[in-house]
Amino acid sequence: MKISLSAFIKRLITNIFRYILLIALAFITIFPLIWMVYSSFKTNQQFTLSALSLPSELHLENYVNAWKTANIGTYFFNSVFVCVFSIILTVVVGALGAFVLAKFTFPGQKIVSSLFVIGMLIPLQAVLVPLFSLMKNIHLLDTPWSLILVYTAFGLPITIFLMESFISSFPDSILEAAIIDGATMLRIFFTVILPMTRPVIATVAILNFLNNWKEFSFALVFINSESKKTLPLGLYNFLGAYTADYVGLMAALVIATLPVFITYLLLQEQIINGMTAGAVKG
């Protein structure tokens, strides 16, 4: 089939415009991160005189000051602790709930499943005050467990939604064979279901990590002790206490961003594959 010259030129111009637009959008997205990284190696004087210029030499002491002087190290490990335990709870409880909803029949099953979907639409501001009162009554305020439990609760809807769709695609013959062999439901869950759901487990773990790592509102309301604050609160304190230390703030932001960036860079394929698999029922 012959293509006219005018149609070829029109398609060429369209493609050129499309690539220019994509490159511009990529630059707008990536440049702030690049600027943040190289600014963290400047001195405050260099940053003030020329914010966009490259550093003349690398000042690694900015990271040392941010980690030790501004106590970013403590906040960092507090965030790691909260994220790890909340993700473990979310995955285990979510997988159990998804297994029951996907492979068992009981009255109100569809209603329960719909309630978890609705749970994804609830804004945290709507439950912030009631949860504060609850944590106060059960004496969990100003403890990491207040955040762990709340993060688990908010992570369950998307976790169950993805895992239920994934588990429902498993053939019932697998479970029937395990039951015939004398396995209990709990053993079936841990030895059969969990190993088969590793792709979607990776997805929900990463999604919950990204959400929990940057969460600010619950941490601000529930945590008062300086030694128990998470990284978002630490960055907020840094901004207030070291307003003139721009390069120190940039170093702290790089430290906070690095785990998220590395996690997504290394595991982005698992995120996409897991969400695709969880969205398609067999």
- Over the chain, what is the mean pLDDT? 85
In this predicted structure, what is the pLDDT of residue 141?
Answer: 92
What per-residue confidence (pLDDT) applies to 145? 94
Q: How many residues does the structure list for the chain?
A: 282
Please report how many Cα atoms fall inside a 13 Å half-sphere around the Cα of residue 122, on the Cβ side. 15
Instruction: State the Cα–Cα distance between residues 158 and 115, nearest whole angstrom.
Output: 11
Q: What's the chain look like in SS3?
A: CCCCHHHHHHHHHHHHHHHHHHHHHHHHHHHHHHHHHHHCCCCHHHHHHCCCCCCCCCCCHHHHHHHHHCCHHHHHHHHHHHHHHHHHHHHHHHHHHHHHHHHCCCCCHHHHHHHHHHHCCCCHHHHHHHHHHHHHHCCCCCCHHHHHHHHHHHHHHHHHHHHHHHHCCCCHHHHHHHHHCCCCHHHHHHHHHHHHCHHHHHHHHHHHHHHHHHCCHHHHHHCCCHHHCCHHHHHHHHHHHCCCCHHHHHHHHHHHHHHHHHHHHHHHHHHHHHHHHHHCCC
In this predicted structure, the answer to whether residue 187 has a pLDDT above a threshold of 60 is: yes
The per-residue pLDDT for range 49-63, each reduced to its tens digit, is 887 888 888 888 888
* Percent of the residues in the chain that have a pLDDT greater than 90, as a whole number: 27
Average pLDDT over residues 100-127: 84
> Higher-confidence residue: 184 or 141?
141
pLDDT tier at 242, thresholds 50, 70, 90: low
Burial of 182 (0-12, 13-18, 19+ CB in 10 A): exposed
Q: pLDDT tens digits for 13-48?
A: 888 999 999 999 999 988 988 999 888 888 888 888
Query: What percent of the chain has a predicted confidence (pLDDT) above 70?
Result: 92
Residue 113: per-residue pLDDT = 84
Quick one: pLDDT at residue 50?
82
Q: What is the pLDDT of residue 265?
A: 80
Measured distance CA(166)–CA(276) in Å, rounded: 9
Is the model's pLDDT at 282 over the cut of 50? no
234-245: buried (b, 16+ CB within 10 Å) or exposed (e) per residue?
A: bbebbeeebeeb
Element (H, E) at 120: none
The band of 3, judged by pLDDT with boundaries at 50, 70 and 90, is low
- Band of the pLDDT at 83, cuts 50, 70, 90? very high
As given in the structure block, the two tokens for residue 67 are: 């980690």
For residue 169, the SS3 value is: coil
Residue 279 pLDDT greater than 60, yes or no: no
CATH class of 67-279: mainly alpha
User: Rounded to an integer, what distance in angstroms lies between the CA atom of residue 149 and that of residue 156?
Assistant: 11
Distances (CA, A) of 262 to 16, 175, 239: 32, 37, 24
Sequence spans of domains, the chain: 5-40, 67-279
Type of residue numbered 9:
I
Q: Which of 21-30, 133-142, 184-193 has the lowest mean pLDDT?
A: 184-193
